[in-house]
Amino acid sequence: MSSRPVVAVVTFPGSNDDRDAAWALGAVGAEPALVWHEEPELPAGTGAVVLPGGFSYGDYLRTGAIASLAPAMTAVRRFAASGGPVLGICNGFQILCEARLLPGVLRPNRQLEFVCRDIRVRVENAETLFTRRCSADQELVIPVKHGEGAWYADEAILVQLVARGQVVLRYGEDVNGSLGSVAGVINEAGNVMGLMPHPEHAVDPLLGSADGGLLLAALVDAAAAHTLVPA
């Protein structure tokens, strides 16, 4: 038996970063487990869940809307409700918003162009499960690649989220017209987070940055801690 914490990565039809996410999680100490979206249960001993990037269901209807109803998402909801750490990356963020597990929604980029480049993101809250390996106000370099990454919510909701420290990451530059430059948010309970940048593409300096590894390694820490919680 491996002593590495199990991190489940859910593959939806149209996911395309599931294997990259699994590889990157393995590189930072996890035992990744790919889970097909039709699975009604997560693998035994799952310590954390990653919803990967991609274009689930071809972005039909609204990005993430169809995937949010997949059988595996029922298991993810249960896991999240029990305090399990869940990280949604890009399309995974869109799915978590559509599943109402995170506030807001991701809309088409203001400039109507797909954006694909390394960007700077600032850590607004370094106290979360996912950012504990970062320092406050640290600037991370992580790539984005999305056409619908403009986060939106009512102004009043944004004010409330900022007050509660739920805006975890902000863009350090204009990327997509996201309200308040929001790049990543966390739920009120602090165990479900979504972000548009792709930490799994930034775990090796050879590829330009290893900053994404800080977020994923923190997730693996959280997975190990959650695994120790008696069921």
Partner 1 sequence: MKATVLVRPKQGILDPQGDAVQHSLHKLGFDVSTARVGRVIDLELEAPGVDEARATIERMCAELLANPLIESVEIQVDGS
Chain residues in the site for partner 1 (CB under 8 A): 61-62, 65, 69, 98, 104-105, 107-112, 150, 152-154, 177
Radius of gyration of the chain (CA): 16
- Number of Cβ within a 10 Å radius of residue 39: 16
CB of 203 to partner 1, least distance (A): 32
At 59, the amino acid letter reads D
The yes-or-no answer on residue 116 being catalytic is no
Q: Where are the alpha helices (DSSP H) in the chain?
A: 18-27, 71-81, 91-98, 155-163, 212-228
Catalytic residue among 31, 146, 200, 201: 200
Burial of 68 (0-12, 13-18, 19+ CB in 10 A): buried
The yes-or-no answer on residue 200 being catalytic is yes
CB of 63 to partner 1, least distance (A): 10
Catalytic residue among 37, 146, 198, 226: 198
Residue 47 or 180 having the CB closest to partner 1: 180
Catalytic residue among 90, 97, 98, 226: 90
The yes-or-no answer on residue 113 being catalytic is no
CB 191 within 8 A of CB 138: no
CB of 212 to partner 1, least distance (A): 28
Residue 97 or 129 having the CB closest to partner 1: 97
Cα distances (Å, whole numbers) of residue 143 to 80, 102, 205 = 27, 22, 13
Residues recognised as catalytic: 90, 198, 200
